[in-house]
Amino acid sequence: MACSEYEPLIEKHKAGAITEEERKRLDSHTKECFECRTLRDGGILPERGRVRERVKKNKSKSLPVLIAAVLIFVLVIIVVIVIRNQVRKGSGAASEKPKLQQVDRVLEVLRVPGVKRDDPIRFGKPGYEVPGDGRVIFELKDGSRVTAYRDTSLSFDDTPEGLNTDVKRGRCEFRFKSGGRVTVGEALVDAGGETTVQVNFTDKVEIRILLGGARVTRGGKSRAVLEGSTFTFKPGDSRTDIK
Ligand SMILES: [Zn+2]
């Protein structure tokens, strides 16, 4: 039945003269029909056709808008997740390094350009170059101290095994409180506990254990170097002396 056929029923409804059977018919139509429902409930519909079009238009307009909104929402969620992950990654790496850097600092510095007392220790390459008349004392987070004397080149690396100090040349002294690792030329010195290691790097490498003990690994061979002994080798040399 067309909407126009319901108009008399709507009039009857408004006049309170609608029968039970007519009301049922009208109700079942108004459930489906917005216009007739509006008319029945006293709404104004000056132009029936237009309203229907408008309702349809609104529907067809609102669907793409809804889809676009959902897409934008999903996109925003993805962007937020990506940013949060990156921030977490970044702060994960950053929150560990500054923790070390804040405590690991330059304790004393003598004539080394660009290095100041209380500077946080720089990690990675190129590290520190101590000039001929310079000296730097670094303090590590556990109270260990690294003294780099004149003409020394060294760098610090924050490795998963702990702090590793790489000495390229010169003379260094390591006073470890709770152990540490030093790479000297081709050798790796694993100092355990309270240990003092002196490294002289001239034409040959001399590793002296002044206090405590260490393991020195070179060319796949690992040896214990005890307090008072000296481990020497020439770079490229296969021979190693322990005195
Ligand atoms: Zn209708």
**Residue 101: its pLDDT value, please?**
44
For residue 57, report the distance from its CA to the centre of ligand 1, in Å: 18
Distance of CA 17 from the midpoint of ligand 1 (Å):
19
The percent of residues above 90 in pLDDT, for the chain, comes to: 40
CA–centroid distance, 26 to ligand 1, in Å, is 9
pLDDT higher than threshold 70 for residue 201: yes
Is 90 exceeded by the pLDDT of residue 43? Answer: no
Structure confidence at residue 3 (pLDDT): 87
Q: How far is the CA of 23 from the centre of ligand 1 (A)?
A: 14
Burial class (CB in 10 A: 0-12, 13-18, 19+), 157: middle
User: How far are the Cα atoms of 103, 182, 190, 196 from residue 223, in angstroms, in the given order?
Assistant: 32, 15, 10, 17
Question: How far apart are the CA of 35 and the centre of ligand 1, in A?
Answer: 6
CA of 113 to the centre of ligand 1 (A): 90
What separation in Å is there between the alpha carbon of 18 and the centre of ligand 1? 17
Written as six digits, the tokens of 205 are 């490498």
Interval between CA 126 and ligand 1 midpoint (Å): 84
93 band by pLDDT with thresholds 50, 70 and 90: very low
Domains and CATH numbers, the chain: 3-76 (no CATH), 105-242 (2.60.120.1440)
Report the pLDDT value the prediction gives residue 229, as an integer from 0 to 100. 92
Query: pLDDT tens-digit profile of 164-174?
Result: 899 999 999 99
pLDDT digits (tens, 9 = 90+) for 115-166: 999 888 888 878 999 999 999 999 988 888 999 999 999 999 887 777 789 9
pLDDT at 52 over 70: no
Please determine, for residue 49, whether its predicted confidence score (pLDDT) is greater than 80: no
Is there a contact between 10 and 36 (Cβ–Cβ < 8 Å)?
Answer: yes
What 8-state DSSP symbol labels residue 203? S
Instruction: Please tell me the predicted confidence (pLDDT) of residue 89.
Output: 58
Q: How close is the Cα of 36 to the center of ligand 1, in Å? A: 4
Which contiguous run of DSSP H or E holds residue 64?
Answer: helix 48-103
Lowest mean pLDDT among 23-27, 44-48, 168-172, 222-226: 44-48
Which residues place a Cβ less than 5 A from the ion ligand 1? Answer: 3, 33, 36
pLDDT of residue 53: 47
Sheet strands (E) in the chain: 105-110, 128-130, 135-139, 145-148, 152-159, 162-176, 180-184, 187-201, 205-218, 221-225, 230-233, 241-242
Q: Is the pTM of this model over 0.75?
A: no
Ligand 1 centre to CA of 34 (Å) is 7
